[in-house]
Amino acid sequence: MKKVYLMTPGPTPVPSEVRLAEAREIIHHRTKEFSDTIKIVSEGLKPIFKTKNSVFTFAASGTGAMEGAVCNLLSKGDKALVIKGGKFGERWANLCKAYGVEAISVEVEWGDVADPAVVKKHLDDNPDIKVVFATLCETSTATEYPIREYGEVIKSRPNTLLVVDAISGLAACDLQVDNWGVDVCVSGSQKSLMLPPGLAFASISDKAWPFMDKSNLPKFYFDFKKARKALEKSDTPFTPAVSLIMGLKQALEMINADGGIDKILERVTVMGDATQAAMKALGLKLISKHPAKALTGIFAPDGVDGKELKKTLEKKYGVMVAGGQDQFEGKVIRLTHLGYICQFDIITAIAAIELSLHDLKHPVELGKGLKAAQEVFAKASI
């Protein structure tokens, strides 16, 4: 039987302990058992976000929390700044457009990041910008953005908030919500948290709440104030995704048993270093100038079609990776190292990339990438 290795940057593999927790008999959500669970997971998410603020959980994919950030903080005609260097930066701009928010874009070449000085200049020129929308790890370009530095620019401005999409970045890239002044940080369940898709999260700072009193955009399901009122009683405004929340409790326990968030980050970093060292050893070019450790994106080498490479990996070797979107379509492959992925998944993926390139008649020295990765693992203490 062919085995499938899910190496896409979402969804990611779900450990059997989590799947078993989700398979338990359904319990009613208005019970003490469930309300205790809500309390445990809401508290348990705080150290992952590195925040003292409340973290809210919604039954939605990550984009639901992104939408909530837009419609709760802003009003029609308000100005926002969007850092746009890939698919997910564009999503912020599209959400603003859908709600009639005037989005000024900082256009960034795919694979690059926005200079914090440029963000500062925009804010100096437009002091009425209410929200800066950024992405911690731009998954479409495998790029990590300097959120800490954006925070430095925004923190001291009482009328501007920093909102960050950390859907793939949470528990994969360094992120310190409180220290860096991230006002709303959104994430989702199907990346580092080792869960199936279906939960969205948002942490909300004290600075952000008063913005919601002024917001006149339509909102109902993703009304953050409703979520806050419910969470004060360890409750949710609507029927929660009970089974996913049971899985989340289990996943958080596993993260703690594994040494907590900093240990997880260390492991992701080593796996990112190993993968990226392997790609370099194979002469493959990373697509990012500021590569994230959460995932690795490479250009297919000259003479190799990216779509064929992805197809060979999947059909012949069972290794599922992501291709490219829009301008990267057919040109790149992306594979993840976050969540429930270990050194040997990485080794498998690298071996499959070497074999696939060989199959596609690209000259490759088998084992060269593996050696580079193993050398990184040999030096690391994870």
Ligand X SMILES: *Cc1c(COP(=O)(O)O)cnc(C)c1O
Beta carbon nearer to ligand X, 188 or 324: 188
Q: Least separation, in Å, of the C-beta of 108 and ligand X?
A: 14
DSSP 8-state symbol, 253: H
Long-range Cβ pairs for the range 365-369 (8 Å, 24+): 368/281, 368/282, 369/278, 369/279, 369/281, 369/282
> Could you tell me which stretch among 106-114, 134-142, 230-238, 274-282 binds ligand X (CB under 6 A)?
134-142
Q: Least separation, in Å, of the C-beta of 137 and ligand X?
A: 6
Q: Least separation, in Å, of the C-beta of 61 and ligand X?
A: 3
Return all residues near 176 (Cβ < 8 A) that are at least 6 apart: 50, 148, 182
Q: Least separation, in Å, of the C-beta of 142 and ligand X?
A: 10
E strands, the chain, in order: 5-6, 55-59, 79-84, 102-107, 129-135, 137-138, 143-144, 161-165, 184-188, 199-204, 295-299, 319-320, 332-336
Decide if residue 139 touches ligand X (CB under 6 A).
yes
Would you give the binding string for ligand X spanning residues 4-33, x where CB under 6 A is met? Answer: ------x-----------------------
Measured distance CA(150)–CA(162) in Å, rounded: 8
Decide if residue 90 touches ligand X (CB under 6 A).
no
DSSP 8-state symbol, 164: E
> Could you tell me which stretch among 165-173, 237-245, 252-260, 327-335 binds ligand X (CB under 6 A)?
165-173
Decide if residue 167 touches ligand X (CB under 6 A).
yes
Establish whether the linkage from the previous residue to 301 is cis, with ω within 30° of 0: no
Measured distance CA(87)–CA(185) in Å, rounded: 18
Strand, coil or helix: 5? strand
Beta carbon nearer to ligand X, 160 or 336: 336
> Could you tell me which stretch among 59-67, 98-106, 124-132, 204-212 binds ligand X (CB under 6 A)?
59-67
Decide if residue 135 touches ligand X (CB under 6 A).
yes
Decide if residue 67 touches ligand X (CB under 6 A).
no
Beta carbon nearer to ligand X, 166 or 373: 166
Strand, coil or helix: 141? coil
Decide if residue 61 touches ligand X (CB under 6 A).
yes
Measured distance CA(282)–CA(26) in Å, rounded: 49
Q: Alpha-carbon Rg of the chain, whole angstroms?
A: 21
Report how many helices (DSSP H) and strands (DSSP E) the chain contains, helices first: 14, 13
Mutual angle of helices 242-257 and 260-281, in 10-degree steps: 80
Decide if residue 180 touches ligand X (CB under 6 A).
no
Spatial CA neighbour of 292 closest among 275, 315, 304: 275
Q: Least separation, in Å, of the C-beta of 190 and ligand X?
A: 6
Q: Which of residues 186-205 bind ligand X (CB under 6 A)?
A: 188
Measured distance CA(209)–CA(205) in Å, rounded: 7
Q: Least separation, in Å, of the C-beta of 321 and ligand X?
A: 14
Q: Least separation, in Å, of the C-beta of 63 and ligand X?
A: 3
Q: How many residues bind ligand X (CB under 6 A)?
A: 12
Measured distance CA(123)–CA(129) in Å, rounded: 7
> Could you tell me which stretch among 109-117, 162-170, 174-182, 223-231 binds ligand X (CB under 6 A)?
162-170
> Under the rule (CB under 6 A), what is the footprint of ligand X?
10, 61-63, 88, 135, 137, 139, 165, 167-168, 188
